[in-house]
Structure 1
Amino acid sequence: MTTAHIPVVDFGSQFQDNKEQLGITLVDIFRTVGFVYLKNHGVPEETIQGAFGSSQKFFELGTDTKKKYGRPPGTDVNSGYVPVGMERLNAFLENEHKTVEIREAYNYLPFDKTKLPSEVPQFDETLSTLFVESTRLARDIFECIALGLCLEKQDIFVSSHQLIGQRGNPTTLRTLSYPPIDPSAEDAAQLTRCGTHSDYGTITLLYQDEIGGLEVENRDDVFLPALPMPGTILVNVGDLLQRWTSDLLRSTRHRVTCNNMQAIKKTRQSLAFFVHPDDNFTVKCLDGSDKYPPVSAGEYLQDRFKLTY
């Protein structure tokens, strides 16, 4: 078990001392691996643990209680509780379409207060705090990527994500819970925790607990563990950023498996901050090519949701 295929970058010191070199480093990693561990990222540990605590309390509620806060079907509203079986990330993969994904989630949007669980009073406060900190870090990462790509318009990524946290931008903090699985169960071979997929947006910030189970595909199409690393945040490129950079940056496939027999006996939690441009922003290839036609960021995400839910 190794995470050597995913580099670790000291974000804090380099961001202050040599932002341009940091950008070059990140672009090289995102071009080849698509994932990076960031340490000294500036998000307080108590903020992360506060959000994990609220997430755990929510998922410990009864099923009927959680369903009161359910995400509506369709693609228009992406906030609220997502029960096991509502979402299929591997539905269109030939070798995985028969597997069942054992996962539940809650999609948090700070501007939508209609689905906040009253049974967890601190839920909104703790998730909102992590949302704000994650937004700050995402914008710093965007600043570095623009430098590393030597873009003429250096603020292109930051300016296209102006409305994060407000209506008009779908950036979402998603709390995820993977219930325990009995490896001796008759149908265990047909179960997985999260199917093989790539993320939809520009970048994702992932906060892992200590259980593990995430696997990331390398350049040889082999999935390798991305083990939890204390004090770090795992950051990866999404499909829209790959499209935006004409495939220069790599949106790498990943999954959460049942391969570790001891790990799947325990509940696993993670917090994923899925970053997207503002809905009305038009994404065009940065190199001026016509490799991909221009697309509205909002319409692009809606099309992806239609395949997922």
Structure 2
Amino acid sequence: MAASAIPVVDFQKYGLNVTDPKSVTGDVLETTAKEIYDAFSTIGFLYLINHGIEERKVDAMFSVSKAFFDLPVDEKRKCARVQADHGDHGWIALESESLNPEGQVGDLKEAFNCTSGHDGLWPENPVEFKSTFVTFYDDCKNLTERILDVLSIGLKLQDRYYLRECHNLMGKKGGATTLRSLYYPALPESVKPGQVRCGEHSDYGTITLLFQDDIGGLEVMNTDGMYVPATPIPNAIVVNIGDMMQRWTADQLKGTKHRVLIPEAEVKKHQSRQSIAFFVNPNNDTMIKCLDGSNKYEPISSEDYLNYRFSVTF
């Protein structure tokens, strides 16, 4: 099925190209808000174009990430993730995670996480690694705030800035939003039974921004329960809903399952793949209560919900 199975939303009216977002009135954003709501309430995914994050910055992220992932394991281990106090910053080794809770073997990927507060160990090489990540984190944060504003309009919340305020600790202590660079190396000669690049899962938080390279491989479950390819579109960001937002909206919006399988084409098995994900979560102390007042789900803090989900994955 074509990429058009996932809607394309033009964000020109409220992208980072707009220098003063408060000058844009809510009625101007109604059409965009409806398109975003419709996508998130059905397939749970969309492509965002004209968002305002410069392509050169995306390219720089892929470049410094690849240089880091190409380092010897002993070098990368110097800045490995240490999960004391639920910290999530740092390098994650190949096959360390199984995103599908039923998976018996680790996924064929490694990653580097840049967390709120940007604390933890950073690689010494490449020298521009940290500055590139921190700058990109800020760009993603600024865009996310605008997406949340428009989503608030789509959800018909009285306060357009309600969701933004619930995420106002992105990049600071008390927030749990993470920028993750992912690397899927060329496949080994022998792959373990049941092993994939990224197991079937839905994301945990509110929304995710995903930047893909041109290799492809991401598949999304559509409204018919069938997987369709999220074919890369140049300069587009894939944005999707997470399970916490589904809970928060009493199932109005859908946290959709997705995966990255072993490619069937022999040539693609010998190619590495990269992606960059910005996993957006509310402030740790935000209580996730059904926005429609239905009490369909019991209130839970963002921190408690995420800790539960992480405990299943790691």
TM-score clears 0.5? yes
Identity within the alignment, %: 40
Q: Name 1:181's counterpart in structure 2.
A: 187
2:200 to 171, 196, 199: 196
Alignment of 1:81-92 (within 5 A): 81-92=91-102
1:81 CA drift (Å): 0.6
Alpha-carbon deviation of 1:228? 0.9
CA distance in 2 between counterparts of 1:243 and 1:6 reads 22
- Displacement of 1:75 in angstroms is 6.5
| Alignment size in residue pairs | 303
| Deviation at residue 223 of structure 1 after TM alignment | 0.7
Of 264, 273, 285, which aligns to 1:280? 285
Separation (CA, whole Å) in 2 of partners of 1:123 and 1:171? 19
Shift of the 74–217 alpha-carbon distance from structure 1 to 2, 3 Å rule, reads farther
Q: Tell whether the 8 Å contact from 2:167 to 2:283 is kept in structure 1 after alignment.
A: yes
Q: Does 1:30 align with 2:35?
A: no
Query: What's the CA shift for 1:53?
Result: 1.0
Distance in 2 (CA, whole Å) between partners of 1:91 and 1:295 is: 22
Comparing 32-41 with 13-22, greater Cα deviation is found at: 13-22
Give the C-alpha shift of residue 189 in structure 1. 5.0
Deviations 1:200-239, CA, capped at 9 Å, x for gaps: 0000000000111100001111111111110100000011
Residue 121, structure 1, aligned to residue 131, structure 2: no
Instruction: State whether residues 212 and 263 of structure 1, in contact with CA within 8 Å, keep that contact through their aligned partners in structure 2.
Output: no
1:290 pairs with 2:282: no
Question: Offset at 1:152?
Answer: 2.0
Contact 1:75/1:306 (8 A) holds in 2: no
Going from structure 1 to structure 2, the CA distance change for 1:110 and 1:282 (only over 3 Å counts) comes to closer
SS of structure 1 residue aligned to 2:278 = strand
Taking the aligned partners of 1:75 and 1:113, their CA distance within structure 2 comes to: 12
Q: What letter matches 2:69 in structure 1?
A: F
Measure how far apart 1:30 and its partner are.
Answer: 0.4
1:63-111 Cα offsets, whole Å, 9 max, x none, are 111111111246610110110122111132xxxx245410100111252
In structure 2, distance between residues paired with 1:268 and 1:75: 31
The alignment yields a C-alpha RMSD, in angstroms, of 1.6
User: What's the secondary structure of 2:232's corresponding residue?
Assistant: coil
Map 1:235-246 to 2 at 5 A. 235-246=239-250
1:4 match: 4
* Other-structure match for 1:112: 118
Q: Structure 1 residue 303: deviation in Å? A: 0.9
Q: Which moved more, 1:100-109 or 1:256-265?
A: 256-265
Q: Which contiguous aligned blocks of 4+ residues in structure 1 show a shift greater than 6 angstroms?
A: none
Structure 2: any 5+ residue segments left out of the alignment? 16-23
State whether structure 2 residue 256 is matched by structure 1 residue 252.
yes
Which residue identity lines up with residue 67 of structure 2 in the other structure? K
Q: Is the 8 A contact 2:96 2:107 kept in 1?
A: no
- Which of 52, 57, 81 aligns to 1:47? It is 57
TM-score by length of 1: 0.94
- Which residue in the other structure is 2:143 paired with? 137
Return the TM-score normalized by structure 2. 0.92
Segment of structure 1 superposing worse, 72-81 or 24-33: 72-81
